[in-house]
């Protein structure tokens, strides 16, 4: 049981961090101050030299906006529809694993903030609150993200549990046949469950609120798979070790087709990094493709989603919805993606920075920042609705 004075002190600090955050970069700064180094490194880091991580953001600068003026923009409608669900603005909360590492409320804080913001929350297979617990926490629209475990019975079970719990869409992540080389995690001593090691003890010491709350809370577990693929509290392992032990490197397009058939509902393939796979996903009957390189956390030097987007739109834009996941930090990023043909965008790190900085209020602030920027930038671009954002609004710079 966490003492009330700890909760109150944490609330005061969280409120201050949220109040003084004016953009996503501010939330990242405060998350870095509030979360121990191993956990922040897991949130913020990527594979190898982290080239892809940097490109995901930088490649948005390849495009200039061509605003239109002398248009009445007093009323701006940011709403849209994605995978059959109307949302208040075209930003979906991406699935992110083990959110309790950043704040004790973890996925419950994120799903509540997403519901209040009027958008979709995608729950990760690797969550620290279960499918059922998250489903009962809010009435907001939720998707379930599925990893291909070697235990195919577990995969079928997860799909059935998500359907029974009322999740509206299934996202199959296809870009983790093996775990990426995340060197920040190696340097900081990141393990699951978190353990006090020679490389991490000083960081835990410098973050007493996080450490006390973690120690006085329930044991860390991956709630959806604890009965078949638990993490051991007695012998911590690296995340890479766990993923390579549990995930199936033999998964094929035939397996994806079986999962789509088993789900029998809105279905997205997440991790598309080439036109060939986008075409295969469309041929499969997917509702959406999610252009994503896993936030740069898998194969370094892979193409950024915004760079790939025009090619995928040209190939399959009339057959599937296209969601861009990676590098979104500003409202103008969302406008550029939609102008190039995306249906919506996904964000992971932005709301995790908010979670680390201020719990549920921090997540709400992250979503509010992005929505307000998007609405303002629509007005400044002369767009009164999402439907008016089109290719004429954008040009690749020279």
pLDDT, tens digit, 9 for 90 and up, residues 276-313: 999 999 999 999 999 999 999 999 999 999 999 999 99
At the fourth CATH level, the homologous superfamily of domain 4-396 is: Aldolase class I (3.20.20.70)
Residues designated as active site: 294
pLDDT, tens digit, 9 for 90 and up, residues 129-161: 999 999 999 999 999 999 999 999 999 999 999
Beta-carbon contacts of residue 81 (< 8 Å; ≥ 6 apart):
87
Cα–Cα nearest to 270, from 346, 211, 201: 346
Measured between alpha carbons, how far is 283 from 134 in angstroms, rounded to an integer? Answer: 32
Measured between alpha carbons, how far is 230 from 258 in angstroms, rounded to an integer? Answer: 26
pLDDT, tens digit, 9 for 90 and up, residues 92-108: 999 999 999 999 999 99
Measured between alpha carbons, how far is 7 from 210 in angstroms, rounded to an integer? Answer: 11
pLDDT, tens digit, 9 for 90 and up, residues 314-329: 999 999 999 999 999 9
Domain boundaries defined on the chain:
4-396
pLDDT band at 232 (very low <50, low <70, confident <90, very high): low
pTM: 0.95
């Amino acid at each position: 049981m966490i003492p009330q004075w700890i909760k109150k002190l944490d609330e005061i600090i969280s409120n201050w961090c949220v109040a003084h955050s004016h953009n996503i970069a501010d939330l990242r700064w405060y998350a870095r101050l509030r979360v121990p180094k191993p956990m922040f490194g897991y949130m913020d880091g990527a594979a190898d030299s982290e080239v892809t991580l940097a490109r995901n953001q930088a490649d948005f600068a390849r495009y200039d906006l061509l605003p239109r003026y002398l248009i009445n923009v007093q009323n701006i409608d940011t709403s849209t529809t994605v995978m059959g669900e109307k949302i208040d603005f075209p930003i979906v909360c991406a699935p992110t694993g083990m959110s309790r590492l950043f704040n004790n409320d973890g996925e419950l804080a994120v799903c509540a903030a997403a519901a209040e913001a009027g958008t979709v929350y995608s729950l990760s297979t690797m969550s620290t609150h279960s499918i059922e617990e998250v489903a009962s926490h809010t009435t907001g629209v939720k998707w379930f993200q599925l990893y291909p475990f070697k235990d195919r019975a577990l995969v079928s079970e997860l799909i059935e549990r998500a359907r029974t719990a009322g999740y509206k869409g299934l996202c199959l992540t296809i870009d983790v046949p093996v775990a990426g080389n995340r060197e920040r995690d190696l340097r900081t001593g990141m393990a699951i469950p978190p353990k006090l090691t020679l490389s991490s003890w000083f960081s835990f010491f410098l973050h007493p609120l996080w450490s006390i709350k973690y120690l006085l809370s329930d044991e860390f577990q991956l709630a959806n798979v604890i009965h078949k693929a638990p993490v051991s509290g007695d012998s911590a392992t690296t995340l890479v070790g766990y993923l390579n032990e549990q995930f199936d490197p033999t998964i094929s397009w035939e397996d994806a087709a079986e999962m789509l058939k088993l789900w029998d509902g809105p279905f997205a393939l997440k991790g598309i990094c080439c036109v060939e796979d986008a075409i295969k996903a469309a041929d499969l009957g997917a509702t959406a493709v999610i252009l994503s390189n896993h936030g740069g956390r898998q194969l370094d030097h892979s193409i950024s989603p915004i760079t790939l987007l025009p090619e995928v739109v040209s190939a399959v834009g009339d057959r599937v919805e296209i969601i861009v996941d990676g590098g979104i930090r500003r409202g103008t990023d969302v406008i550029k993606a939609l102008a190039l043909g995306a249906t919506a965008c996904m964000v992971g790190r932005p709301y995790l920075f908010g979670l680390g900085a201020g719990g549920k209020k921090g997540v709400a602030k992250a979503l509010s920042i992005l929505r307000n920027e998007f609405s303002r930038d629509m007005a400044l671009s002369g767009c009164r609705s999402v439907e008016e954002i089109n290719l004429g609004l954008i040009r690749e710079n020279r």
